[in-house]
Amino acid sequence: MSRENELLSIGEVAKLTGVSVQALRYYERKNIIKPIYTNADSGYRYYSPDQIYFIQLIVNCVNLDIPLKELAGVFNADDMSGFRDFFVKNKEAAERKARLINASINGFNAVLARIEIASLYSFGEIYSREYPEKVYFLKPYNQPIKNENRLKLFLEMAQEMHGNNFNRITTEDNFDELLGLPDFGVISQYSSSNASYFIFGEVTKQMATDNCISLPAGAYFFRQDKESQLENAPEIFKEHIKGVDSFMIIETEEPFLSKTKINQPIYELRLIIL
Q: What confidence tier does 165 reach under pLDDT thresholds 50, 70, 90?
A: low
CB neighbour list of residue 187: distance below 8 Å, 6 or more residues apart: 136, 138, 197, 198, 199, 200, 248, 249, 250, 251
Q: What is the DSSP letter of 218?
A: E
CB neighbour list of residue 160: distance below 8 Å, 6 or more residues apart: 139, 211
Question: What mean pLDDT, rounded, does the chain reach?
Answer: 87
CB neighbour list of residue 214: distance below 8 Å, 6 or more residues apart: 133, 134, 135, 136, 205, 208
| Residue-level pLDDT at 86 | 87
Chain length of the chain = 274
User: Check: CATH 1.10.1660.10 for 3-78?
Assistant: yes
- Fold: same for 3-78 and 121-273: no
Give the mean pLDDT of 93-100. Answer: 85
More confident residue, 224 or 165: 224
* pLDDT(230) > 90: yes
Spatial separation of the C-alpha atoms in residues 127 and 64, rounded to whole Å: 46
Spatial separation of the C-alpha atoms in residues 78 and 81, rounded to whole Å: 9
Amino acid of residue 170: T
Strands (E), 70-180: 126-131, 134-141
Q: What is the DSSP letter of 260?
A: S
3-state secondary structure of 152: helix
Give the mean pLDDT of 216-242. Answer: 95
CB neighbour list of residue 111: distance below 8 Å, 6 or more residues apart: 180, 181, 256
Spatial separation of the C-alpha atoms in residues 56 and 253, rounded to whole Å: 48
Specify which residues 98 forms β-bridges with.
none
* pLDDT(1) > 50: no
Third-level CATH fold of 121-273: Multidrug-efflux Transporter 1 Regulator Bmrr; Chain A (3.20.80)
Q: What confidence tier does 156 reach under pLDDT thresholds 50, 70, 90?
A: confident
Q: Domain residues of the chain, as ranges? A: 3-78, 121-273
H/E element, 178 = none
Q: What percent of the chain has pLDDT over 70?
A: 92
| Residue-level pLDDT at 171 | 46
| Residue-level pLDDT at 2 | 55
